[in-house]
Homo-oligomer: A and B are copies of this chain.
């Protein structure tokens, strides 16, 4: 179904406005589905994202500041999310030896096990081959990178 029918808006001011609204709408759809999938594992999206970053570093620890740098949504509040994960025993926190201001965060065995289970359904998180061909998905990536270039030096 085209965007016009989906949101009951007949006209857009420009193809650029339509693309912006389409991005919002499409991404919201995708994230809603991801959220529902993760809920079965007791995780929220930002909790899952942090766990994945920690697994990428494992067995090295990562500071909260590193997490903020690497999170998709830059300004989210990493220290509170880490605390949620710690309360579920999915991550560990300990004082950093080199810098006593910093906190070393690392994923636990329990966290790794949970991620391993989620890996099995990870393909459901994204557009699949049923909707876009590989070439189309590649083209989408290029258009997004190019579009985003207007935000260089922001954020």
List the interface of chain A (C-beta within 8 A of B): 1-3, 7-9, 13-33, 56, 69-70, 72-75, 122-123, 125-132, 134, 136-141, 143-152, 154-155
Contacts and interface: CB of A to CB of B under 8 A. Distances in A.
Dominant secondary structure at the A interface: helix
A72 B150 contact: no
A20 to B, nearest CB: 3
A23 to B, nearest CB: 5
A38 to B, nearest CB: 14
Count identical subunits in the complex.
2
A106 to B, nearest CB: 18
Closest 5 CB pairs of A and B: A20-B126, A131-B150, A27-B27, A127-B147, A15-B137
A13 B20 CA distance: 27
Given A23-B140, A140-B140, 5 more contacts: A16-B129, A18-B141, A25-B148, A33-B151, A127-B148
A70 B8 contact: yes
